[in-house]
């Protein structure tokens, strides 16, 4: 039974002996440029002794090959322009929601003057582009925040991915309120889900044990998830911080961040004197 069905279908698909290909029509003209359009033959698919609908005939392309190529190029260009606009809008939105303040608007790597830290500035940029986590220490006004903001803006602009900027004393207040409202896990999830993070101005002020635990958990999540592009800035070096903060927090920072120390005069004081 099965073999007879196969035979029957095969007979239906067989090309009739008396079927001949229709003659090729004369070339046509392109509606866009009046250039020559050559017809193309559509190979027949037979059924019941006749070509199936749309096959076994000559057909003209809608455009000549040159205009068709130009059309594809224009479509690709339009698509690229649209994607660029969407990417630009996304970057603007990510930058606007990263946590920067008005004071950070002018801060980019291009606007930073590495007056007293040319070598360190170059190594920081190289490390960041390589995906390192970075700890920047130095006296007030040496440009730590400016560099950190610039690095995060660079990341957002290049990757079009989410970055978060937090000033640590303000983050500690956020954590204290979140703990009180029992939404500290939600806050930690919101921050640690970013692809890049700046924790600015980690100081020696000792917070409550629960707030300190929250700060440790945030940094530890970054470490355990093997995430890159974390920047921590502080007026104090690791040794000074370890005397005031928990050893495990200082140890975690040491274990996951490449340290840099900036030197120089307080730029803000210099600017006020100018």
pLDDT per residue as tens digits for the range 182-232: 999 999 999 999 999 999 999 877 778 889 899 999 999 999 999 999 999
Decide if 46 contacts 15 (C-beta within 8 A).
Answer: yes
Report pLDDT for 61.
Answer: 92
Query: Which residue's entry shows tokens 């037979």?
Result: 46
CA 165, CA 90: separation in Å to the nearest integer? 17
Query: Which residue's entry shows tokens 């392309």?
Result: 61
Percent of the chain with pLDDT over 70: 91
Report pLDDT for 273.
Answer: 46
* Greater model confidence, 271 or 51: 51
Tell the CATH topology of 99-273: Rossmann fold (3.40.50)
Q: What's the length of the chain? A: 274
Report pLDDT for 266.
Answer: 63
For CA atoms 242, 247, 251, 252, the dihedral sign is negative
As a whole number, mean pLDDT of residues 31-49 equals 90
Q: How sure is the predictor about 261, in pLDDT bands with cuts at 50, 70 and 90?
A: very high
Report pLDDT for 264.
Answer: 73
Query: Which residue's entry shows tokens 């640690």?
Result: 192
Q: Which of 1-10, 13-22, 57-66, 198-207 has the highest mean pLDDT?
A: 57-66
Asked if residue 147 has pLDDT above 90, the reply is yes
As beta bridge partners, residue 135 has 232, 259
Report pLDDT for 10.
Answer: 63
Q: How sure is the predictor about 20, in pLDDT bands with cuts at 50, 70 and 90?
A: confident
Model confidence over 218-241: pLDDT tens digits?
999 999 999 999 999 999 988 888
User: Of 33-37, 117-121, 266-270, which range is least confident?
Assistant: 266-270
CA 253, CA 246: separation in Å to the nearest integer? 11
Report pLDDT for 274.
Answer: 47
Mean pLDDT for the chain overall: 90
pTM: predicted TM-score of the whole model, two decimal places:
0.79
Decide if 70 contacts 82 (C-beta within 8 A).
Answer: no
Which residues, 6 or more positions from 264, have their beta carbon under 8 angstroms from its beta carbon? 115, 116, 117, 138, 139, 142, 143
Report pLDDT for 122.
Answer: 96
Decide if 11 contacts 48 (C-beta within 8 A).
Answer: no
As a whole number, mean pLDDT of residues 109-117 equals 92
* Greater model confidence, 137 or 13: 137
Asked if residue 140 has pLDDT above 80, the reply is yes
As a whole number, mean pLDDT of residues 72-93 equals 97
At 51 the three-state DSSP class reads: strand
User: Of 21-25, 142-146, 263-267, which range is least confident?
Assistant: 263-267
As beta bridge partners, residue 137 has 234, 261
Query: Which residue ranges make up each domain of the chain?
Result: 30-96, 99-273
Report pLDDT for 235.
Answer: 93
CA 41, CA 60: separation in Å to the nearest integer? 9
As beta bridge partners, residue 261 has 137
As a whole number, mean pLDDT of residues 23-29 equals 93
Is 272 buried (19+), middle (13-18) or exposed (0-12) by CB count in 10 A?
A: exposed
């Amino acid at each position: 039974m099965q073999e007879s069905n196969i035979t029957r279908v095969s007979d239906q698909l067989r090309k009739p002996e008396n079927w001949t290909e229709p003659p090729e029509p004369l070339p046509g003209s392109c509606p866009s440029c009046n250039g020559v359009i050559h017809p193309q033959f559509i190979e027949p698919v037979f059924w019941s002794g006749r070509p199936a609908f749309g096959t076994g005939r000559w057909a003209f392309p809608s455009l000549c090959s040159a205009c068709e190529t130009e059309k594809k190029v224009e479509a690709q260009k339009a698509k690229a322009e649209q994607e660029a606009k969407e990417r630009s809008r996304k970057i603007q939105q990510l930058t606007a929601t990263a946590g920067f303040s008005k004071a950070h608007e002018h801060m980019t790597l291009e606007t930073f003057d590495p007056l007293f830290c040319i070598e360190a500035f170059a190594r920081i940029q190289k490390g960041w582009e390589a995906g390192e986590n970075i700890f920047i220490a130095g006296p007030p006004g040496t440009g730590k925040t400016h560099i950190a903001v610039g690095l995060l803006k660079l990341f957002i602009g290049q990757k079009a991915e989410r970055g978060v900027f937090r000033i640590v004393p303000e983050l500690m207040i956020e954590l204290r309120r979140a703990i009180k409202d029992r939404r500290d896990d939600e806050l930690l999830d919101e921050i640690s889900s970013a692809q890049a993070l700046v924790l600015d101005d980690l100081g020696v002020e000792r917070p409550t044990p629960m707030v300190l635990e929250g700060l440790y958990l945030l940094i530890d999540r970054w470490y355990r998830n093997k995430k890159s592009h974390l920047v921590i800035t502080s007026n104090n070096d690791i040794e000074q911080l370890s005397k005031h903060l928990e050893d495990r927090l200082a140890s975690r920072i040491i274990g996951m961040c490449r340290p840099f120390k900036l030197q120089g005069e307080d730029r803000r004081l210099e600017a006020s004197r100018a």
